[in-house]
Amino acid sequence: MTRTLILAAHGGGDGSDANALLRKTAKQIAERIGFDVGLAAFRLGEPSWRDALRGATGDFAVIVPVMTSEGYFHGLLGEEVHAARLAVPARFFLTAPLGTHPDIAELAGDRLRTLIGSYDLDPQRTVAVVCGHGTPRNPESRRATVALALRLARQKHCVSCIPAYLDEDLRIEDAPRRLRGYHLVVLPFLIGGAYHATSDIPRRLGLSMKEVDPREAPRGLAAAGLDNRWMICDEAIGRLPGIERIITARAVEGLSERAGSEDSATHPRGVHAGGDDRRVRLGTRRTCLAMWQAEHVAERLRERGGVVEIVALETSGDRDRSRSIAELDGDAPFTDDLDEALRRGDVDLAVHSLKDVPLKPSPEFDFPAILPRGAPGESVVSRDGRRLADLHAGATVGTSSPRRAAQLLSLRPDLVPVVMRGPVDDRVRQVRQGRFDAAILATAGLVRLGLEHEIAESLPLDAFLPAPGQGALVVQVRRADERVTRLVRALDDAPTRAAVAAELAFLATFEKLEGVAAAAWATTAAGLRMRARLIALDGRILWDGVIRGDTPEDVAAGAIRDASRALAHAFSTTVVHA
């Protein structure tokens, strides 16, 4: 049996140094782990993917995509593998891309720690920026960049880690302006050391390779000290010491497979394979925050042995950004398409922000896990860093929430709430572009996207109550699917579930009350306690109270009782004065 290893990359043309290095690497790895033939193949360069695949006429070939993600070019490679299977008498195993291997995060984290130490940077003043392609042709490219940024952030080498892109916002050239006051360490999430890594990214950042003395900094690094901060751009992650170990790990995956099934010939290991109780497809919206949330849940499931494929979909609320959230059609504009995907069996579970889930979901669904809550409160993002009290009279404040608008008017009746739609990162961008003087956004969303540096002020919870369920993530499954329910239930956090149950029960009573917004925040730190509020849309506080109790039902009932009495009094007083 002839065993062939093919490292498949985009390539930078036949004369590229990156292509030559990959050819050498393929031969070395093949010899070391027992392949008979080792070669590299390229979309741009020789041999081409097609020629290499159709030349593999032996019994077995393993193809390792030397790419960051299952994005556009990975899809093209998959088509070539499928065509080769029909054309030559060989069996093929296509592994997952190099950039999705979990050790990539460790490699990048080690590099980040080294760079911070080399320049003696204060970690609390340093932001890491993972720069990927982010091509709109395929959302997987962006998802892989977000996933790597998330894993790096968990390592806590610096104050924050955010994704940036070459082909979409946040564009890498905008990062220095958006992150004023912070040291920046840019890690190009690219495999090859071709044009984008060696020239394009440093140029966009205004850096020159000549600004660094090679005797004082790692090879291939561009950096400059300016405005009392450092801006450092590293070479491509795929060129770092240690990448060969990860390529080898992917190749070994292929050797360990018998590669006899139709699925293993065309799909990465662990995807689209039936019969395994721990394989699931997780549905999510396509926004950056939703992808973060999906990756967060996927990581928790993987820690428990799950094999997770993320499926990104667009909801009606994402498609219609011309109206405020209150004006959108239906009760679930941010979950409707995911509900349909669950019904059809296209996905096995879905992850949502709890506040987006309708209070009366379809009885065919269940929610076996509510994850530990993130920051529940609200933050102000302003164009020039001003706090809410410092905004000038008449300043425009973007929000799509009647609750936020009402509380804003309660605190500052001289400000002007203006409808703002779009995902969190886009809303921040709208403020930076001058379309609004400020915006009020959920703190949890900003933190999860690594945008803490954009926060001008975190509003006190007692003064500005959040939406019931804000900051909590919920996992939705088909009620009849016992297999997935068992897998997901381990993620449930009982204290968070109790707190949000009280909040949502309060909201359910007043949700449809015209001209009134409800807000609530419950905690379980010292017994169950909830602060809740009803606000008229003109900013008048109709009721505000704190309720304690033993169960979510008791707390909600007490709040509903007191709020209803206050409303009845307010309405009767209004009638008398009329």
Catalytic positions: 356
Distance from C-alpha of 148 to C-alpha of 141, rounded to nearest angstrom: 11
**Of the candidates 425, 74, 9, which has an alpha carbon nearest to the alpha carbon of residue 266?**
74
- Which amino acid, residue 319? R
**Lookup: tokens for 525:** 């730190």
Q: Which two tokens stand for residue 37?
A: 């033939």
**Edge-first strand listing for the sheet containing 183-188:** 160-165, 126-132, 183-188, 229-233, 222-226
Q: The tokens of 338 are what?
A: 């995911």
Query: What's the token pair of residue 34?
Result: 């027992």
Burial 507-518 (b: 16+ CB within 10 A, else e): bebbbeeeebbb
Nearest to 255 by CA among 269, 245, 244: 269
Nearest to 426 by CA among 233, 231, 286: 286
- Reading the block at residue 9, the tokens are 């990359």
Nearest residue to 181 (alpha-carbon basis) of 112, 122, 114: 122
Helix (H) or strand (E) holding 159: none
Angle CA 573–540–538, to nearest 5: 110
Phi and psi angles of residue 172, each rounded to the nearest 5 degrees, phi first: -60, -35
Q: Listing from the earlier edge strand, what are the strands of the sheet with 378-382?
A: 416-418, 396-398, 438-442, 378-382, 457-458
- Strand duo 396-398 + 438-442: pairing: parallel
Phi, psi of 224 (to 5 degrees): -155, 140
Residue whose tokens read 């000549």: 210
Q: Contact 540/410 with Cβ under 8 angstroms? A: yes
The tokens for 543 are: 């009721």
DSSP string, 173-188: GGHHHHTTTSEEEEEE
Q: Are strands 160-165 and 126-132 parallel, antiparallel or unpaired?
A: parallel
* CA separation, residue 401 to residues 132, 289, 324, 345 (Å): 33, 18, 8, 33
How is residue 46 annotated by DSSP?
S
Residue 198 tokens read as 């060696």
Alpha helices (runs of H) in 34-174, residue ranges in sequence order: 49-54, 72-87, 103-118, 139-155
Q: H or E segment at 244?
A: helix 243-256
Distance CA 184, CA 165 (A): 15
Structure tokens at 572: 């009767």
**Under 8 Å between Cβ of 295 and 152:** no
Q: CA 423 to CA 82: how far, in whole Å?
A: 37
Give kind and range of the element (H or E) at residue 388. Answer: none
Q: Which two tokens stand for residue 554?
A: 């008791």
